[in-house]
């Protein structure tokens, strides 16, 4: 089992719809979770982070954690073509020096 798993996609949604991205992780003790956005040919950019104590909303983005099932989700409301990118989930491995492990990323395509 990979430490952090994501469906590579592509996930295609129409403009204005809700995009739902998911990520599962293996380390039950993990306490911090990050979503990075990566445009083609660019470096990852942090867009959301949550800790084990709860969900978080920031503008059109909502990050949710399900500790029992060990998955994290990112919801993007009112999706825009500019949201088209690869979304990387990263999990801080509690049991291993705080190492940040990335999933392979999910490619999101928002069609006008």
Partner 1 sequence: EAGVAQSPRYKIIEKRQSVAFWCNPISGHATLYWYQQILGQGPKLLIQFQNNGVVDDSQLPKDRFSAERLKGVDSTLKIQPAKLEDSAVYLCASSRGARGTNEKLFFGSGTQLSVL
Q: Which helix (H) or strand (E) holds 46?
A: strand 45-51
| Closest to partner 1 by CB, 53 or 69 | 53
- Rounded-to-integer distance, Cα 61 and Cα 104, Å: 20
| Closest to partner 1 by CB, 28 or 99 | 99
CA–CA distance from 59 to each of 35, 56, 109 (Å)? 15, 10, 20
Please report, as residue ranges, which positions from 43 to 82 form the binding site for partner 1 (by CB under 8 A).
43-46, 49, 51
Question: Which structure tokens are listed for 103?
Answer: 């999933």
**Contact residue for partner 1 among 4, 63, 65, 91 (CB under 8 A):** 4
How far apart are CB 103 and partner 1 at their closest, in Å? 5
- Rounded-to-integer distance, Cα 37 and Cα 86, Å: 6
- Binding residues for partner 1 (CB under 8 A): 4, 6, 8, 31-32, 34, 42-46, 49, 51, 88, 90, 92, 96-105
């Amino acid at each position: 089992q990979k430490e952090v798993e994501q469906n590579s996609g592509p996930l295609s949604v129409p403009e204005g719809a809700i995009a739902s991205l998911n990520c599962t992780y293996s380390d039950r003790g993990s306490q911090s979770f990050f979503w990075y956005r990566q445009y083609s040919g660019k470096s990852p950019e942090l867009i959301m982070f949550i800790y084990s104590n709860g969900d978080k909303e920031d503008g059109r983005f909502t990050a949710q954690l399900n500790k029992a099932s060990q998955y994290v989700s990112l919801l993007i409301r009112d999706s825009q073509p500019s949201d088209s990118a690869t979304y990387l989930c990263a999990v801080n491995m509690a049991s291993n020096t705080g190492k940040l492990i990335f999933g392979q990323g999910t490619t999101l395509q928002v069609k006008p």
